[in-house]
Amino acid sequence: MQHLKNLRFVMQKSGRLAEGTIALLQKCGYGVKINKRQLLLQEKSGIDFLFTRDDDIPGFLAKNICDLGVFGENLLTEYSLTHKDDAHNLQVIMPLGFSKCRLSIAAPETHTYPTAQTLQNKIIATSYPQTLAHFLKQNNVTAEIVTMHGSVELAPKIGIADLICDLVSSGVTLKENGLVEVMKIADSQAVLVANKTALHTEKHSLIENMLLRINGVLDAKQNKYIMLHVQKDKIEAVKKILPSREAPTILELQGIPNKVAIHTVSPEEIFWETIEKLKEIGASSILVLPIEKMMA
Ligand code: ATP
Ligand code: ZN
């Protein structure tokens, strides 16, 4: 397999992970947008973005086809149980805080299955057969597992299974299908995952740069208080780069006559780009502080 120099980032084409991933990447300053027909985007920053079904993402990363990607923890568990050897090539970098859901057992409203033992000898439909089998084994339960790739909620109604094991967030879909959640198997959210080998190749610095941006975005949830030192003749340049909520505070620096300290409050959306531009004009000692409370 040819390994290109560009960093390859793989994400879901459309669905419950795509929206959160796109929003995150846009906040990082990458020019990706939802386009259901485009499968590959070569972005100006030297990163190739690949769009696929989420089910293919763990394999793409494990087999060195891509370097970084986003998918759900639920899929990581299932993949790790079915592809034990390949899964060693995956390294979870960090949870991303979106696409939060849980893998749960749900039953028709008329039934109650309060403990794992009452699942004994039941038929359970799921898209996550290995995760479910692992859970049943841990609880010393024998049950039949029916694998379905979609519309799992229909299984009890059409007589394929007694119960289902599926992803739940609000529970509305279950309710619409006459089901109730009776037991949680695992929590899940979107995670950023890397190909372990890529972390030790020449792509290392590209990855580091991207992680720096992602961390920056995840950390910058509100307005930030920014402090920096800069040459006096660059004050106007700083004001252009850093739009303040009101006016910035300019302070003298003792013993350094040609420089000043600037303190200002800035909104998060321009946070990352702002820091890069400030460095370009020679700003130093840049501190970015969270603001606990603010009254406009
Ligand atoms: P694809 O066409 O990419 O295979 P899909 O059929 O797997 O899409 P999605 O519903 O987009 O379907 O689910 C993708 C991932 O989103 C899941 O693996 C899970 O991590 C997360 N997810 C699923 N259901 C929910 C939910 N109800 N709330 C939040 N996140 C969810
Ligand atoms: Zn899928």
CATH number of the CATH domain containing 253? 3.30.70.120
pLDDT tens across 263-278, in order?
998 765 555 667 888 9
Query: In testing the pocket of ligand 1, which one of 79, 99, 102 has its CB within 8 Å of the most ligand atoms?
Result: 99
Asked if the structure places residue 217 within a domain, the reply is no
CATH number of the CATH domain containing 31? 3.40.190.10
| CB-facing half-sphere around the CA of 185: CA atoms within 13 A | 28
Given CA atoms 159, 161, 163, 165 in this order, what sign does their dihedral have? Answer: negative
Nearest in space to 264 (alpha carbons), one of 250, 244, 281: 244
Instruction: Identify whether residues 94 and 197 lie together within a single domain.
Output: yes
Average pLDDT value over all residues in the chain: 89
**Rounded Cα gap, residues 191 and 173, in angstroms:** 24
Last residue of a domain, one of 173, 202, 231: 202
Q: What is the pLDDT of residue 273?
A: 65
Asked if the structure places residue 207 within a domain, the reply is no
Give me ligand 2 centre to Cα 227, in Å: 45
pLDDT higher than 80, residue 292: no
Instruction: Identify whether residues 67 and 126 lie together within a single domain.
Output: no
Instruction: Identify whether residues 13 and 53 lie together within a single domain.
Output: yes
Instruction: Identify whether residues 260 and 279 lie together within a single domain.
Output: yes
- For ion ligand 2, residues whose CB falls within 5 Å: 54-55
Domain count, the chain: 3
Asked if the structure places residue 210 within a domain, the reply is no
Instruction: Identify whether residues 83 and 123 lie together within a single domain.
Output: no
Instruction: Identify whether residues 197 and 70 lie together within a single domain.
Output: yes
Give me ligand 2 centre to Cα 54, in Å: 5
Instruction: Identify whether residues 194 and 80 lie together within a single domain.
Output: yes
End-to-end CA distance of the chain: 56
| Residues spanned by the domain of 163 | 101-187
Asked if the structure places residue 216 within a domain, the reply is no
Q: What is the pLDDT of residue 263?
A: 95
pLDDT tens across 183-231, in order?
999 999 999 999 999 988 888 888 999 998 998 788 656 678 899 999 9
Instruction: Identify whether residues 138 and 267 lie together within a single domain.
Output: no
Ligand 1 binding site (Cβ under 6 Å of any ligand atom): 12, 15-17, 53-55, 72, 74-75, 99-101, 167, 169, 188
Q: What is the pLDDT of residue 190?
A: 96
Instruction: Identify whether residues 123 and 232 lie together within a single domain.
Output: no
Instruction: Identify whether residues 47 and 80 lie together within a single domain.
Output: yes
pLDDT tens across 107-122, in order?
998 766 667 778 999 9
Instruction: Identify whether residues 7 and 94 lie together within a single domain.
Output: yes
Nearest atom of ligand 1 to the alpha carbon of 12: 3
Give me ligand 2 centre to Cα 16, in Å: 9
pLDDT tens across 26-38, in order?
988 898 887 777 7
pLDDT higher than 80, residue 257: yes
Asked if the structure places residue 49 within a domain, the reply is yes
Q: Starting from the edge strand earliest in sequence, which strands make up the sheet with 144-147, in order?
A: 144-147, 123-126, 163-168, 101-108, 179-188
High-pLDDT (> 90) share of the chain, %: 66
Instruction: Identify whether residues 117 and 73 lie together within a single domain.
Output: no
Asked if the structure places residue 120 within a domain, the reply is yes
Last residue of a domain, one of 145, 168, 202: 202
